[in-house]
């Protein structure tokens, strides 16, 4: 990437303060910037680095006021974090020009492909698959029969998509993801045996979804397991059969969601949280890391912590008590000793 400061500013809707003709050839962190590199300042705790960095251009907010002299050129924007996210996406797209179908891939004769499609080595594409324009399928991807993949979606190496699943436009599916494996459905019988319940549904991924490496999303028993548009899933997440995750919800790593749970829109869920099955979570809910969710969360916008999870205010009060339990135990022990001394016989008489 080689762009002038003014060209970068135009891409992210910013204004240049300094040398607009400076040529930028790389991106760098502000604390380790080099000449001809671009960085950004979004977190105030990194402000000291802007006075010492050797980066040529720094993206800052419109209201940033330096407290010391600055030698680098500034690009001022409304939100530096969003601006750098857009720039990184542009940079990433510039580095993904792959097109063409490898002769070492297996593509069934009934597959329908759009324009500028890339299918890498040792990938397998089953019968009646539909692949839209600009889809990127990296090596060793498996795509089962009757799968549909929307425009501009990327499947990284080793992704496995079982039959009948549907993926929307502009999705990113990272390495090792499995979509559409059987849901965990077994009916107990007499004795210790279980009867497997056939899982005949599918998985539906809507538009602009990103799914992290080695995440698994099980197919529905009947109907669909559904990930709504804009959802962002981290690595190593387990989504059970018939789950629905609402629009623009973000979920961190190692979360487990049991079957038939419905999670609302715009929720934020911390790592290692666990959800019981057949429950409903309202919109705009925030759930802390390692929380346990055993039942419905009915209040939109609530914040919960702990296992079992409780409202954040109650959790903080409870933690305050918990952190003093050792002192409380000591006090109770001292009181018991004092009470025992008080009840000791005096002059041969019981008190």
> Burial of 4 by CB count in 10 Å (0-12 exposed, 13-18 middle, 19+ buried)?
middle
Query: 115, 138, 203, 209: which is closest to 168 by C-alpha?
Result: 209
Q: 104 Cβ partners below 8 Å, 6+ apart?
A: 121, 122
> Burial of 77 by CB count in 10 Å (0-12 exposed, 13-18 middle, 19+ buried)?
buried
Instruction: Give 226's Cβ-side CA count (13 Å radius).
Output: 14
Do the Cβ atoms of 108 and 131 come closer than 8 Å?
no
Beta bridge pairs of residue 155: 137, 173
Rg of the chain over Cα atoms, rounded to whole angstroms, equals: 28
* Cα dihedral sign, 43-78-17-94: positive
Pairing of the two strands 202-205 and 194-196: unpaired
How far is it, in rounded angstroms, from Cα 233 to Cα 119?
Answer: 24
Largest CA distance in the chain: 105
Locus of tokens 């001022």: 76
**DSSP H or E stretch at residue 333:** helix 325-342
Active site residue: 163, 174, 241, 278, which one? 241
Beta bridge pairs of residue 24: 3
* Cα dihedral sign, 102-108-109-112: negative
Query: 210, 303, 203, 284: which is closest to 293 by C-alpha?
Result: 303
The yes-or-no answer on residue 241 being catalytic is: yes
The residue count of the chain comes to 351
- φ, ψ of residue 164 to 5 degrees: the values are 70, 5
Residues designated as active site: 241
């Amino acid at each position: 990437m080689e762009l002038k400061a003014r060209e970068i500013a135009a891409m992210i809707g910013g204004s240049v303060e300094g040398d607009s003709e400076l040529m930028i050839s790389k991106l760098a962190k502000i604390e380790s910037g080099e000449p001809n590199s671009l960085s950004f300042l979004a977190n105030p705790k990194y402000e000291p680095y802007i006075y010492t960095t050797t980066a040529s251009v720094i993206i800052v907010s419109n209201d940033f006021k330096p407290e010391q002299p600055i030698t680098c050129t500034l690009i001022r924007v409304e939100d530096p974090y969003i601006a750098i996210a857009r720039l990184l996406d542009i940079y990433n797209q510039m580095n993904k020009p792959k097109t063409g179908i490898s002769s070492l891939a297996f593509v069934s004769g009934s597959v329908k492909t759009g324009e500028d499609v890339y299918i890498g080595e040792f990938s397998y594409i089953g019968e009646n698959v539909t692949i839209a324009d600009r889809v990127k399928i990296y090596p060793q991807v498996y795509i089962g029969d009757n799968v549909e993949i929307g425009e501009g979606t990327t499947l990284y190496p080793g992704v496995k998509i079982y039959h009948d699943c549907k993926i929307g436009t502009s999705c990113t599916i990272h390495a090792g993801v499995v979509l559409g494996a059987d849901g965990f459905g077994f009916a107990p019988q007499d004795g210790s045996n279980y009867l497997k319940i056939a899982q005949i549904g599918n998985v539906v991924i809507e538009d602009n979804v990103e799914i992290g490496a080695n995440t698994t999303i099980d197919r529905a028993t009947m109907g669909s397991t559904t990930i709504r548009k804009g959802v962002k899933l981290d690595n190593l997440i387990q989504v059970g059969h018939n789950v629905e995750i609402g629009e623009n919800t973000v979920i961190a790593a190692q979360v487990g969601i049991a079957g038939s749970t419905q999670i609302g829109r715009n929720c934020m869920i911390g790592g290692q949280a666990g959800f019981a099955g057949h429950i409903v979570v309202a919109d705009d809910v925030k759930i802390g890391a390692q929380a346990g969710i055993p039942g419905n969360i009915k209040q939109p916008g609530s914040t919960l912590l702990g296992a079992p999870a409780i409202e954040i205010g109650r959790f903080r009060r409870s933690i305050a008590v918990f952190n003093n339990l050792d002192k409380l135990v000591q006090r109770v022990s001292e009181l018991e000793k004092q009470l025992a001394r008080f009840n000791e016989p005096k002059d041969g008489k019981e008190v």
